[in-house]
Structure 1
Amino acid sequence: MQLIVDIGNTRIKSYVFQNDTVIESSSQPLATGASDIRQFLTNYKAINNIIVSDVNGSLTQKLEVLLSPFPLVYCSSNLNLPFTTLYTPKAQLGADRVALLAASCLAYPNTNRLLIDLGSCITYDVIDIMDVHQGGAISPGYAMRYKSMHTFTGKLPNLTLEYPKDTLGKSTSESMHRGVHQGIVNEIKGAIEESEKKYKDLTVILTGGDAERLPKPLKNSIFAHSNFIANGLNYILKLNTTL
């Protein structure tokens, strides 16, 4: 039995796997997520391997104490992975992207893939039919775009996402909503079009908490299920331990 711990910038997601099946999961704010992990360890005595993906870093020491009795793998590009990467230096490839790439190898082998993860930032990664990660891009996510407009100007308000009703905003707030939402949609469409020019029969995989904000359907795209990255982490754990 395996425990998967995925620490993002705002939440901790935890999954208990029996072989390749999720039997229980949790998603909590950073401040309370460790309590669910503690409860899983109490409820599932058969947990014998744990992998942690941590893009935040603020809970590493606390988690190490909590998880110290168990064999522990930290997700990184230095592990045995189901893909190779052209990223240089390889160590700069974040744990979240490593997990997503591994998940794509498991779910969509033998295909060219564009992986788009919409979280605090939007990451783009291309992995080819030979499971070679070609590289990608990083851009601001929804919340970051709103926050930057408010922070770096004198008068623009601090907004949260609302879907624009019209193609042109009739007020400052409407214009900001239109700019953020349509800007991201157009950016993603552009990334898909550029990747399709180079990679034949491209599979586009959309994931992350903000993926649901995108219009459906989006050309040639697959909205990944909620356990997609967890499956990738479990796959990496299996490649680096004897379960």
Structure 2
Amino acid sequence: MHLVIDLGNSKIKFFVFQESRILYRAFEPVLKWENTLKQIQKKYPTISNCIISDVNGSITNDLKKSLGSISVLFCSSKLKLPFRTLYKPKKQLGADRIALLSACILDYPKKNVFVIDLGTCITYDFIDKKSLHHGGAISPGFKMRYKSLNFYTGSLPLLNPKISKKFLGDSTKSSIHTGVTNGIIAEINEHICYHKNRFEELTVVFSGGDALRLSKPFKNMIFADTNFLAKGLNFILVSNLS
């Protein structure tokens, strides 16, 4: 029995796996992790191994101590991975992106896959049908764009993200919404077009907490379920235990 932990910038996600089957999952704000972990340890005392994807860093040591005798692996390029990468230096490839690429190998083997993860940042990664990761891109996510417009100006308000159906705003608020929405849509479309022109039979996968915001403008694409990254982490863990 394995524990998979996805420690993001704002949320922490716990998954308990029995081989490839998910027995339990819980999503919490980062600062509320302790009680959830204690409940998991009480309910599943036979957990022997854990893998952690950590892009946060604020609670890493406390989290590891709380796991006690459970053997812990941190997702990184130092582990045995199911793909090769052209990323340089390899050690700078983030744990979340490593997990997503591994999930692509698991769910879409021997395919050209372009995975777009929409969270605090938007990450883009391309992996070909021979399991070679060519690289990708990183840009600000929805909330980061809204916060930047407010922080770096003296008069623009801080708004909650909202998908705009307009292309031209008729007020400051609607202009911000359409600017952020259509800016992200245009950026994503450009990335997809670039890769479709260069790689045949491209599979495009959307993942991440903000992915469903774009389910209408990209209705013909694949939207991964909320377990996608966790399945990639479990795949890495199992590979490194064998």
TM range, smaller chain: over 0.9
1:65-80 alignment, distance < 5 Å: 65-80=65-80
In the alignment, which residue of structure 2 is the partner of 1:81? Answer: 81
CA-atom RMSD in angstroms:
1.1
Whether 1:60 and 2:66 are equivalent positions in the alignment is no
Indicate the SS of the match to 1:198. Answer: coil
In the TM superposition, what whole-angstrom CA distance separates every residue of 1:42-91 from its partner, at most 9, and x where no partner exists? 11012111001100000101111111311110000110000010000000
**Partners of 1:204 and 1:220 within 8 A in 2:** no
Q: Percent identity?
A: 49
Q: Post-superposition, which runs of at least 4 consecutive aligned residues in structure 1 deviate over 3 A?
A: none
Distance in structure 2 (CA, Å) of the matches to 1:105 and 1:10: 27
In the alignment, which residue of structure 2 is the partner of 1:126? Answer: 126
Deviation at 1:217, TM superposition (A): 5.8
Deviation at 1:186, TM superposition (A): 1.1
- Cα distance 1:110–1:217, how it changes in 2: closer, same or farther (>3 A)? farther
- Cα distance 1:219–1:25, how it changes in 2: closer, same or farther (>3 A)? closer
One-letter amino acid of the counterpart of residue 85, structure 2: T
TM-score, length basis structure 2: 0.97
5+ long unaligned stretches in structure 1:
none
Deviation at 1:220, TM superposition (A): 5.2
Distance in structure 1 (CA, Å) of the matches to 2:109 and 2:163: 35
Q: Which has the larger displacement, 118-127 or 159-168?
A: 159-168
One-letter amino acid of the counterpart of residue 16, structure 1: V
Deviation at 1:162, TM superposition (A): 2.1
In the alignment, which residue of structure 2 is the partner of 1:163? Answer: 163
In the TM superposition, what whole-angstrom CA distance separates every residue of 1:168-198 from its partner, at most 9, and x where no partner exists? 1001110000000111111111111111011
In the alignment, which residue of structure 2 is the partner of 1:228? Answer: 228
In the alignment, which residue of structure 1 is the partner of 2:39? Answer: 39
Q: Which has the larger displacement, 233-242 or 128-137?
A: 233-242
Alignment length, in residue pairs? 242
Indicate the SS of the match to 2:162. Answer: coil
Indicate the SS of the match to 1:209. Answer: coil
One-letter amino acid of the counterpart of residue 185, structure 1: I
5+ long unaligned stretches in structure 2:
none
Distance in structure 2 (CA, Å) of the matches to 1:82 and 1:230: 15
Distance in structure 2 (CA, Å) of the matches to 1:157 and 1:217: 26
Whether 1:176 and 2:176 are equivalent positions in the alignment is yes
TM-score, length basis structure 1: 0.97
**Partners of 1:114 and 1:126 within 8 A in 2:** yes
Distance in structure 2 (CA, Å) of the matches to 1:149 and 1:123: 20
Distance in structure 2 (CA, Å) of the matches to 1:121 and 1:220: 23
